Amino acid sequence: MGTVLSAAVLAGCSSSDELQASSDESVGMPNPAAVHCESKGGTHEIQKTNEGDIGICHLPDGTSVDAWQLYRDDMGETQQ
């Protein structure tokens, strides 16, 4: 009985704020499309739209393209 009570008390110690904070943290993996953009000399920017966030790659020649489309085009992956 004491073990069950101890487990219940410990389970209640995690607040929703602590859980929210940990879920908001980055996993530490870079965005492959952003890395690819920067490897081509570009700068990567996140733009907020009504449809959600999109990554834009601003290339050295002045063009701006969807970062994931650039990645797929250069890596030979087709859009699904």
* Residues 6+ away with beta carbon under 8 Å from 60: 40, 41, 42
Residue reference for tokens 């063009």: 63
pLDDT grade for 76, boundaries at 50, 70 and 90: confident
Domain ranges of the chain: 2-75
Q: Give pLDDT tens digits for 14-62.
A: 444 444 444 455 678 899 999 999 999 999 999 999 999 999 999 999 9
pLDDT at 1: 55
pTM: 0.61
pLDDT at 58: 99
Angle (nearest 5°) at CA 31 between 51 and 25: 85
